[in-house]
Chain A
Amino acid sequence: MNAVQYDKKLRLQLFIILCCSAIFVNIFGDYFTRFLLSEIIILSLFAMSLDFLAGRGGMISLGHAMFLGIGAYSTAILFINFNIDPFLCSLLAVVIGLIIGYLIGFIIVKTDGIFFIMITLALGEMFHSWAYTNDFLGGSDGISGILRPKLLGMDLNEPLFFSYYLLILLILVYAFLAAVTDSPLGRNLDAIRQNSGRVLSLGGSVKLYKSASFGISAAIASLAGSLYAQLNGFVSPEISHWTVSGEGLIMIIVGGIGSLSGAILGAVVVHIIQHEFSKLVDWWMLLMGGGFILVVLFLKEGLWGLILKFKNYIIENK
């Protein structure tokens, strides 16, 4: 699988533009716009976790929504059953996601291609079915009563502050993933995606590198799940359904696999289209599907590819 052209500068430029747009929307938007913005930021975190896994390590996970579920349910249980501070719940959800992700990754990264996709799909569906039937997790009703954190005297139940809180987390996760992408681990994951046999013959621990990246990706997805539970105040099994993973993959394909900022752009575009089209027509999924097919056929590097072409055009015509 190919990732988009590696351009650190453009990645940062696009991220800054997206963050500035988010701040603008948050300042001038109403309650519903801020809620939509919060949803988009959380989906961006999820999309970035998938983008890191697919774009760097070449691992396509169709069961990654399981980690959204793990993050959301662990936050709910820690808050409701153990009365732990919501902010600490999110931190613990990240640690839980990291550990479970690493352990699962250690077992499944031996496979690749279609086998990897099918194993992740099976694991995701196992989790979803378990959550759906488990009384402790609230069964199909899920768990409600999850509150948002209070930080530095600010009540994050106020949508304006919660969106800023999410934006800060997005910036931190972006900075972390950008650093990891450029780090020896990130470059080795790139190498593994291109030619894993050669990395092995050079003495590289392919299994360790892939497991570590799976753990990191799972931790970020888990954070997104925790924040999603706090945004909505409840969690239900639907969060871990495989279609959520599928939507995440659509976001990174639309944005441009491996570009990190493109994943955020993909989350913005796909979620806004979903949100707006669903208000206009009943057959919005048909439009979404058609648009996705066009992107796959004609924009192999997604929206990132378009932006890159635009940048190159400007440079050439300066």
Chain B
Amino acid sequence: MIISLQNISKSFGANNVLKNISIAIDKKECVGIIGPNGAGKSTLFKIISGSLFQDGGSIIFNDANIDKLSIEKRSRLGISQSFQSNSLFNEMTVKENIMVACSQSFKVGWELFKSLDKRTNIITKSYEIAEEVGLTEYLDFRSDNLSYGLQRQLEVGLAIANNPSLLLLDEPTAGMSNEETKNIVKMVKKLSTYYTTIIVEHDMDVIYSLTKKIYVLDSGDLIFDGTPNEVKNSKLVQERYIGIKQ
């Protein structure tokens, strides 16, 4: 097991966003988290990544308790995320974006001399990442000049720059055209063979095609978990989530 969430709860004032959520994920597993808007998916993601802290419960990652670790410390341990809205370095090229991300994993971010584009290890790694996320042709493009779909690919590229043990993908296909969605599904499918992956996604076809196990949240409760087929056939999930979507 790579990560275990034990009785995680979180409230904002009187609003209980998460109620005693327990999830355990094995290495190289690809799981999905689904639920209607306001179910607590994004809050759970933020709690795993460290941008929010839970009120109760604990998180065990690689046999260590990471409850009090900040987002950057969790990232250094190998928890990496892509965001629901693109969070890139817009004044930089694709290559520079990836190189800055790599400078963290190579632990050279504080060094005062020798530029990033003169460091062979960082250049090699950057090209590998660009290839994995299908951006080799766009290395010299400024990230704000990319199409939305390509920006989403770069978003995932930044997330895998530190060789994560756990990859969190928050709605990787949000706002994409069918063609762009196909590309990113293909890419994530390949990545999920190397990395343990948790995906939050609204598009059920995407979730069914990518994941082996799905957790369903509703109003802060974990109401169901099972394989994609079990989720498809669950009356409870049909009533509480998929029914609503249809």
Contacts and interface: CB of A to CB of B under 8 A. Distances in A.
A205 interface: yes
Given A187-B116, A191-B100, A204 B109 contact: yes
Interface string B169-188: 00000000000000000000
B110 interface: yes
A205 B115 CA distance: 18
A3 B101 CA distance: 20
A165 to B, nearest CB: 25
Nearest to B76: A203
Given A182-B115, A203-B76, A190 B92 contact: yes
Interface string A184-195: 110110110011
B92 A184 contact: no
Nearest to B143: A194
Contacts of B99: 187
A48 B218 CA distance: 55
A203 B91 contact: no
Interface residues of A, number: 28
A185 B111 CA distance: 6
A77 interface: no
A80 to B, nearest CB: 34
13 contacts: A183-B114, A184-B103, A184-B108, A185-B109, A185-B112, A187-B96, A187-B99, A190-B89, A195-B89, A195-B90, A200-B70, A201-B49, A208-B110
B102 to A, nearest CB: 9
Contacts of B72: 200-206
A185 B112 CA distance: 6
B151 interface: no
B3 interface: no
Give the most central of A3, A179, A187, A203: most B CB within 10 Å. Answer: A203
Given A184-B103, A200-B70, 19 more contacts: A6-B91, A183-B113, A184-B111, A188-B110, A194-B92, A198-B87, A198-B88, A200-B72, A201-B72, A201-B81, A201-B83, A202-B72, A202-B100, A202-B161, A202-B162, A203-B75, A204-B103, A206-B72, A208-B110
Interface in A141-186: 179-180, 182-185
A190 B108 CA distance: 15
B91 A194 contact: yes
B105 interface: yes
A2 interface: yes
B71 interface: yes
A183 B87 contact: no
Interface string B21-64: 00000000000000000000000000001010000000000000
A233 interface: no
Nearest to B97: A191
B110 A209 contact: yes
Contacts of B162: 202-203
B112 A180 contact: yes
A289 interface: no
B158 interface: yes
Contacts of B136: none
A46 B78 CA distance: 41
A178 to B, nearest CB: 10
A185 B162 CA distance: 17
B104 interface: yes
A208 B75 CA distance: 16
The 7 closest A-B pairs by CB, nearest first: A203-B75, A182-B115, A203-B104, A203-B76, A191-B100, A198-B87, A194-B89
Contact of B104 (A180, A183, A195, A204): A204
A291 interface: no
A5 to B, nearest CB: 8
Contacts of B75: 200-203
Contacts of B109: 184-185, 188, 204-205, 209
B111 A197 contact: no
A212 interface: yes
A183 B116 CA distance: 6
Nearest to B81: A201
A203 B105 contact: yes
Contacts of A184: 103, 108-111, 114-116
Given A179-B113, A201-B49, A187 B87 contact: no
Given A187-B99, A191-B100, A194-B90, A202 B116 contact: no
Contacts of B111: 183-185
Contacts of B87: 195, 197-198, 201
A182 B51 CA distance: 30
Contacts of B80: 201-202
Contacts of A199: 100, 104
A107 B171 CA distance: 36
B110 A212 contact: yes
Given A180-B112, A183-B114, A188 B88 contact: no
Interface string B146-180: 00000000000010011000000000000000000
B110 A185 contact: yes
